A and B are shown apart, each in its own frame.
Chain A
Amino acid sequence: MPSDLAECLLVMGAIALLVAGAATALLAPNALKRLIGLGLATLGVLAALAALRSPEAVLVAGVTGLLGQFVIGVAITIRLQEEYGSIEAPEIDAADGGSEAQDAPQ
């Protein structure tokens, strides 16, 4: 029973990290903060997987995915800075707003 309780607490803590990271990734206006949020979310999942005693293959898959996301994310962030002179989403959206026909209001 104590080990079940410990596992439950560890998983809950990991899921809290996942939620915090996901919220940052989806809501932060800054591209770099979004990346950091994504990293936190995946780390939370990795912690949960470890607590759940998942096979090593799943953990390795998670780490590999995190690495791939981070590399591509940094590349996108650098390109955004080069093209827009900013990595803030509101400024980028405003710059794009004038260059495309927007959908009709629903």
Chain B
Amino acid sequence: MNGVDLELARAHAPLFAVTIPLVGAALVLIAGSARLSWVVATVAALIAATVTADFAYRLLNHARPAVAELSIPLQVDGVGSFGAALVTGLSALAIVAVGAFLKDAGSRAAPFRLALLLCITAGWSGALLARDLAGVAVSVEVAWLAGVAVVTFHGARDRAALNGALRMLTLGGVASALTLLGVGLIGRAAGDLRLATLPIAHISMPGVASAGIAFVIVGLAVKATAAPVHAWAAAALGRGGAVAGLWVGAIGVVGALLVMTRLSAYAVAAPELGAGVSATLAVLGGASVVIGSVQAVGARTLPRLATYACISQAGCVLVAIALGSPAGFAAALVQLLALAAAALAMFGGAAVGRIRDLAMLDGFWQRAPLASVAITAGTLSLMGAPMTLGFLGRWRLIEAGVGVGWWWAPLLVIIASLAGVFYGGRLIERIYFRRANRTFEGEASPWRFAVAPSLICAILTIALGLAPAVLLRWSDAAAGMLTGAAT
């Protein structure tokens, strides 16, 4: 490939971010065998991650990358590019980790599951790069239904996953209906569905537009496990197995929150919609912090605890978005990276040891030291412990909240961190200070090294907490390019 071809390919990076996972999914189905399909899926995910990371790197360093004019309705902005790079990067790590659990639902099902995972990546990437609200709604639906199917596949190993999948389908289906209705109402009131024109649109019916954006936000909140509309989360993620934990619990939740961040950035800039959007997000965020924290303290299984802890962290993200300022959006992006890394570390570490109830963590350090390190780092980050990425995100939220006079935002951060000390301390005490009293059920084959992605996330959680300069620069740059500056 010569330089001209390379530049042409780089100009089509937003298109490739969506199409490479989809082409990969088709090839995975053709590959047939479990291991070969895993190799194909890994290659596709790595290529997609490289392409989007390269594009985001150039955009966020103000290199003004060329973007090809296409008839496909895609649009590049700071949050979308940052988010697509985050989603595809996480997906590449998670695909590697999934290698250890490929045959959980049977060898014949492995290619189908891998294809669905790539569809989840394509769906969230598409929603983050879509030009209009219709594109966002379709992409989110693709990612969501693929997630439901992934949980359903785990029913072959644990039938309770089917119950979780049904709850996910019904609640998510109602949420999708609300989202579509919201899109229709916004289109009727603003006369246009393009995101870039929303801040400057002449909104003839502000009440209708406000109701529309509220429906869209609530519909997405269901998929982001925001309380109190998170009823599907414990059933689906608690019993959906390792693959669902990684892909729906980590990537799906982060993807939904990123899409909410992007849409809110455009909506907040519209004078008729800004106040309503902020109020809706603030209510959802506050409820998520309080309800998620209380439920995490009471959780008795590790997947449920990780789910509730992520809900609490998602609440902090929603509060940061609700601020509506560039500092708030930058804080949200830092917290989303922290959430993604912590979730992948915790769900991945738990999957390696096939941990379900918390008693299985007793003495886990002696049996699976690397997985223990991953779970510990993820837990510390969700607690907001100093020198972790979680602390950095919460500190940025406090700065941004105080900056606009929202004094209750630091209070929510303190609630989330105090609850984190309770449930996180309990996990760490079990892992390091108790004697093992159960047979180890974890992965013993060479595939146990699939814990590596969780370990990478654990290292990232600490390293970016200690040396955050680059991350802060990129998050500030992304927040400064919210409204399609790069189109």
Interfacial residues, chain A to chain B (CB-CB below 8 A):
15, 18, 21-22, 25-26, 31, 34-35, 37-38, 41-42, 44-46, 48-49, 52-55, 57-58, 61-62, 64-65, 68-69, 72-73, 75-77, 79-80, 83-84, 89, 92-93, 96, 99-106
User: Which stretch (B83-91, B145-153, B272-280) binds chain A?
Assistant: B145-153
Query: When the two chains form the complex, which single residue of B138, B180, B298 contacts A105, counting CB atoms closer than 8 Å?
Result: B298
> How many whole Å from B160's CB to the nearest CB in chain A?
5
Across chains A and B, which 8 residue pairs bring their CB atoms closest together, nearest first? A104-B298, A83-B159, A49-B184, A38-B173, A101-B300, A52-B188, A101-B357, A54-B184
Docked Cα-Cα span, A69 to B193, in Å, equals: 24
Residues of B within 8 A of A46 (CB): 180
Residues of B within 8 A of A37 (CB): 170
Docked Cα-Cα span, A13 to B453, in Å, equals: 51
B241 CB within 8 Å of chain A: no
Residues of A within 8 A of B295 (CB): 103, 106
13 contacts between A and B (CB under 8 A): A25-B174, A45-B180, A49-B180, A53-B188, A55-B134, A55-B193, A58-B187, A62-B180, A65-B141, A69-B176, A76-B165, A89-B163, A106-B298
Q: A22-B177, A83-B162 are in contact. Are A54 and B188 (CB under 8 A)?
A: yes
Query: When the two chains form the complex, which single residue of B160, B177, B294 contacts A45, counting CB atoms closer than 8 Å?
Result: B177
Docked Cα-Cα span, A94 to B388, in Å, equals: 41
> Judging by beta carbons under 8 Å apart, are B171 and A76 in contact?
no
> Judging by beta carbons under 8 Å apart, are A26 and B174 in contact?
yes
> Judging by beta carbons under 8 Å apart, are B177 and A41 in contact?
yes
Of A18, A35, A72, A106, most buried by chain B (CB within 10 Å of CB) is: A72
Interface SS of chain A: helix
B480 CB within 8 Å of chain A: no
B interface size (C-beta, 8 A): 43
> Judging by beta carbons under 8 Å apart, are B155 and A79 in contact?
yes
> Judging by beta carbons under 8 Å apart, are A48 and B184 in contact?
yes
Beyond the given A58-B134, A80-B162, please list 14 additional residue pairs across the A-B interface where CB-CB is below 8 A: A18-B177, A26-B174, A34-B170, A52-B187, A57-B134, A58-B187, A58-B193, A61-B141, A61-B180, A69-B145, A72-B169, A76-B162, A79-B162, A96-B163
Interfacial residues, chain B to chain A (CB-CB below 8 A):
134, 137-138, 141, 145, 148-149, 152, 155, 159-160, 162-163, 165-166, 169-171, 173-174, 176-178, 180-181, 183-185, 187-188, 193, 234, 238-239, 294-295, 298-301, 304, 356-357
Docked Cα-Cα span, A34 to B79, in Å, equals: 36
> Judging by beta carbons under 8 Å apart, are A103 and B159 in contact?
no
Query: When the two chains form the complex, which single residue of B152, B177, B187, B234 contacts A76, counting CB atoms closer than 8 Å?
Result: B152
> Judging by beta carbons under 8 Å apart, are B166 and A76 in contact?
yes
CB closest chain-A residue, reference B304 = A103
> Judging by beta carbons under 8 Å apart, are B183 and A101 in contact?
no
Residues of B within 8 A of A25 (CB): 170, 173-174
Residues of B within 8 A of A72 (CB): 145, 148-149, 152, 169
Residues of A within 8 A of B238 (CB): 100
> Judging by beta carbons under 8 Å apart, are A58 and B183 in contact?
yes
Docked Cα-Cα span, A57 to B159, in Å, equals: 37
Residues of A within 8 A of B181 (CB): 15, 18, 45, 48-49
Query: When the two chains form the complex, which single residue of B170, B176, B300, B356 contacts A104, counting CB atoms closer than 8 Å?
Result: B300
